[in-house]
Structure 1
Amino acid sequence: MTMSKSFDLRRVRPLGAALTAVALSLPFVLPLAAPGPDGFVREAVAQEMQKVDTSKLVTIGGAVTEIVYALGEGDRLVARDSTSMYPEEALKLPDVGYMRALSPEGVIAVNPTAILAVEGSGPTDALAVLKTAGIPFETVPEGYDRAAILKKIDVVGDFLGVPEKAKALEETVGADLDVAIADAARRPQSERKRVLFILSFQNGRIMAAGRHTAADGIIGLAGAINATEDTFDGYKPLTDEAVINAKPDVVMVMTRPGAGSTDEEVLAHPAIAVTPAGQNKAVLRMNSLHLLGFGPRTASAIRDLNKELYGNVSQ
């Protein structure tokens, strides 16, 4: 069979050249698309992040600030929020206010080149002003378990352009958490204390912690039981009946500036008085920023709470 005279080999050459170019480029394209924490994608993301000028950084949220220092990048900080009280070096920085009551003017006044804020910072209108002010703004996701802590480190490290430092810190923090969590988990379920976490206690109204809160997270990790169990999410005012039905063995309140009532006032509450905690005068006060921060020091917080509840670290 003979080839048609109308078939022009010259028309094949452009197509062949294009296919050859694609084939030659594949060895270079495929590694860039390789998945995995050690692949080119992670490095590319970090390089893209590093294009943001983070030399004058404001951090909002105690865990975020701790992570920046733990990564060895504290010299970038020019200001922090009032919950950022660790390490001690952070206290030398200007305070731009409480993380949930930020003033955009106060943040902008320190002339930052970038802002790192934990999820839940606010108010919303203040964040809107900051995000439209032309200052790069990164939100660090909140969470109350091991995975969430490591995710925070990952996000902060990528934003600062130091993913390898973040990976090393994640390994160290993760290993410490594994040991602390495993130690607490050895306590038999029948021996675990029921803990009622009181966020606020004003005019006889008890605001307690339910599911999906930092308090619920740390209580569980420390080998205890949230006395409100699965009855509600977030923080909620409790009726006297609900307090009595919770049957707490321990009432936990936080030590912080301006914190509410004394132990005597808590124990005198009619509903608390008839619970096991009230009868045994079991009121536990702990540092809220350390206990509820869910940052690099959470393994220490787990051990501290476990010791306070049970007298020693579970074996």
Structure 2
Amino acid sequence: MKKRGLAAAFLLAVSFAGISQSEETSTLSDTSRVVAIGGSITEIIYALGAQDRLVARDSTSVYPEAAFKLPDVGYMRQLSPEGVLSVNPSGIIALQTSGPKEAVDVLKKASVPYVEVPETFDHKGIIDKIEIVGAALGEKEKADTLAKQVDSELNAAEAITRNVTERKRVLFVLSLQGGKILAAGSDTAADGMIHLAGAENAMQGLSGYKQMTDEAVVSAKPDAILVMDRAGQSISDDQVLQHPAIATTPAGEAKKIVRMDGSYLLGFGPRTASAVRELATALYGETVGN
């Protein structure tokens, strides 16, 4: 991922002369050749049955498997305008967190209509994304139906931990490079998922992904460690449990590690209700909600 990011950053040096000015829009007049940037955007388009409009996707769009047949325009946070525009799109639908800013600014000024989709890591944010993507594609009726279905599923998933009296404290570990724990604070997808599953983020008072000192990890007293499964980049259980700070926490002593597929856990799309159920069950046991 680091090499891909460096390559994309290098391509940003390419000059885009002669690009005409256009306004950011909420609907696409031509939906015949759409580029989706953001895994949840791609998932929503497939869930709406509009995948025939897609001509490319970003590298975070790994579900459904059929999406891999589409050209990959790069990592959503290290986009190259040249790469995105090379597939001759009639429109671009992208998460607001796409970047870098210079690349997104170029794409917004291109002659290709650009729909920016806000992302908040909560129940409402998922529903809003579905409605916005549906409107952009001219599929409001299908989007309304999907939004109602997902809303119902999310309500049911959140309800299973409603009566939990002692909330589990969860530490999401993104990486352990150099023995330093990079953990998720507030304003992150991991934090949003932890709360949807009826638990508490053990990393309090910090925003975004931050490196934690060993003392901070011990003080956080997590009951469980949450990690992502990523092809070729997963943190092993041994790496987690042998970390000296984690080993002394309730999670380390109980060897409580929960691992889930990254796009499934943090996607905040149509599959999120299922991921919430899975995480809640992993944290609280099969009897949760009964």
TM class by shorter chain equals 0.7 to 0.9
Q: Check conservation: 1:202, 1:260, Cα contact below 8 A.
A: no
Aligned to 1:207: 182
TM-score by length of 2: 0.87
Q: Which has the larger radius of gyration?
A: 1
Aligned to 2:256: 282
Q: Check conservation: 2:26, 2:115, Cα contact below 8 A.
A: no
Q: Does 1:223 align with 2:226?
A: no
Aligned to 2:53: 76
Aligned runs of 1:73-222 on 2, under 5 Å? 73-188=50-165, 190=166, 192-222=167-197
Query: Alpha carbon RMSD of aligned pairs, Å?
Result: 1.5
**AA aligned opposite 2:173:** I
Using the TM superposition, give the Cα deviation of residue 49 of structure 1 relative to its aligned residue in structure 2, in angstroms: 5.5
Using the TM superposition, give the Cα deviation of residue 293 of structure 1 relative to its aligned residue in structure 2, in angstroms: 0.6
Q: Does 1:265 align with 2:239?
A: yes
Q: Check conservation: 1:185, 1:222, Cα contact below 8 A.
A: no
Indicate how the Cα distance of structure 1 residues 49 and 147 shifts in structure 2: closer, same or farther if over 3 A, else same.
closer
TM-score by length of 1: 0.81
| In structure 1, distance between residues paired with 2:261 and 2:163 | 25
| In structure 1, distance between residues paired with 2:142 and 2:189 | 26
Using the TM superposition, give the Cα deviation of residue 260 of structure 1 relative to its aligned residue in structure 2, in angstroms: 4.9
Q: Match of 1:236, SS?
A: strand
Using the TM superposition, give the Cα deviation of residue 94 of structure 1 relative to its aligned residue in structure 2, in angstroms: 0.8
Using the TM superposition, give the Cα deviation of residue 132 of structure 1 relative to its aligned residue in structure 2, in angstroms: 2.2
Aligned length: 265
Aligned partner (choices 262, 279, 290) of residue 305 of structure 1: 279
Deviations 1:193-227 (A, max 9, x none): 21100111100111111112111111111121111
**AA aligned opposite 1:264:** D
| In structure 1, distance between residues paired with 2:163 and 2:73 | 42
**AA aligned opposite 2:276:** I
Aligned to 1:244: 218
Runs of 4+ in structure 1 displaced over 3 angstroms? 48-51
Q: Match of 1:89, SS?
A: helix
Aligned to 1:294: 268
| In structure 2, distance between residues paired with 1:51 and 1:261 | 41
Deviations 1:22-46 (A, max 9, x none): xxxxxxxxxxxxxxxxxxxxxxxxx
Q: Match of 2:97, SS?
A: coil
**Identical positions, percent:** 57
Structure of higher RCO (CA pairs closer than 8 Å, 6+ residues apart): 2
**AA aligned opposite 1:227:** A
Give unmatched runs, 5+ long, in structure 1.
1-47
Q: Match of 1:185, SS?
A: coil
